[in-house]
Amino acid sequence: MDGGSADQSLAIIEQYQTWLKYWVSEKDAGPANALNKGFRYASGDILAFLNADDFYLPGCLARAAEEFRTHPAADVVSGHGYFAKATGELGVPAFSDRWNLNRFRYGACVLVQPATFFRRSALAQAEGFKETTKTCWDAELWGDMARAGASFHSVEAFMAAFRLHPESITGNPTFRDLRRRDALKVMHKMGARPQSSITTMLTFLHRAAKFLTHPQRTFRQRLFFYSTLHRWSP
């Protein structure tokens, strides 16, 4: 699902179109809208999505299929990944947390999006991506799936890479305020009260507890962000 790119995207798509069930290049109403359109053409029972900059690691799809086979009650399977440079060179590890809706509500439970797979039924129960959310539509989907009763399963394997560069939605500083507003909206939707002093305290406590569990992970990621984006966070 290409949003009418003016670069070499069309040439690349056409190169691989023999292996694509469907593709289109047209203006859309944002990434969430494009994803909803794309999933309407998908035919599988296990679904996932890659944004334009990201990529799977060798063995990822086979591992995802095996996890669903051996854990038939799981609706969402999430592994770990890497932050990568614009060149595709792997950088520091990015870890998915074990799912907990309460910690998610306060910004302390994160899933590595390209390493996360889900059943078609879970997507349907969550009613797809919310197209009014422009930056963290993936996190909102995890929350919607959880509230609809989805079961989450964690995989101790590195499955995908998240490419970080200044022009991406995550890396571009012009989107930072929008990302914060969208994140607060999702927190509120999941039951937190963003303007409440109690919510502020709980957010701090949950995030501090996560940091203290694995402080080196955070330091390594911040150093990678600084070396890649010249700032301490995306």
234 falls within a domain: no
123 falls within a domain: yes
Looking up residue 116, the CATH number of its domain turns out to be 3.90.550.10
pLDDT score of 165: 83
DSSP output for 169-191: TTT-GGGHHHHHHHHHHHHHHTT
Greatest distance between any 2 Cα atoms in the chain: 55
211 falls within a domain: yes
pLDDT score of 46: 97
Q: What digits encode the pLDDT tens for the residues 17-51?
A: 999 999 999 998 889 999 999 999 998 999 999 98
**Structural element, H or E, at residue 80:** strand 76-84
160 & 143 share domain: yes
Cβ neighbourhood burial of 74 (10 Å; 0-12, 13-18, 19+): buried
Find the range with the poorest average confidence among 112-121, 137-146, 163-172, 204-213.
Answer: 163-172
pLDDT score of 132: 92
Name the band, by pLDDT with cuts 50, 70 and 90, for residue 192: confident
pLDDT score of 177: 86
Q: Show the domain range for 2.
A: 1-43
Q: What is the DSSP secondary structure assignment for residue 25, as one 8-state letter?
A: B
How does 76-113 read in b/e, with b if 16+ C-beta sit within 10 Å? Answer: bbbbbbbbbbeeeeebbebbbbebeeebbbbbbbbbbb
82 falls within a domain: yes
22 & 62 share domain: no
Q: What digits encode the pLDDT tens for the residues 45-87?
A: 999 999 888 999 999 999 999 999 999 999 999 999 999 999 9
| Strand-pair partners of 76 | 118, 152
Name the band, by pLDDT with cuts 50, 70 and 90, for residue 230: confident
pLDDT score of 206: 95
32 & 73 share domain: no
Give the whole-angstrom CA distance, residue 50 versus residue 114: 6
5 & 99 share domain: no
Give the whole-angstrom CA distance, residue 143 versus residue 126: 9
pTM as predicted = 0.93
| Strand-pair partners of 116 | 78
Provide the number of structural domains found in the chain. 2
136 falls within a domain: yes
pLDDT score of 169: 74
Give the whole-angstrom CA distance, residue 164 versus residue 51: 12
145 & 32 share domain: no
Name the band, by pLDDT with cuts 50, 70 and 90, for residue 231: confident
* Mean pLDDT score of the chain: 93
115 falls within a domain: yes
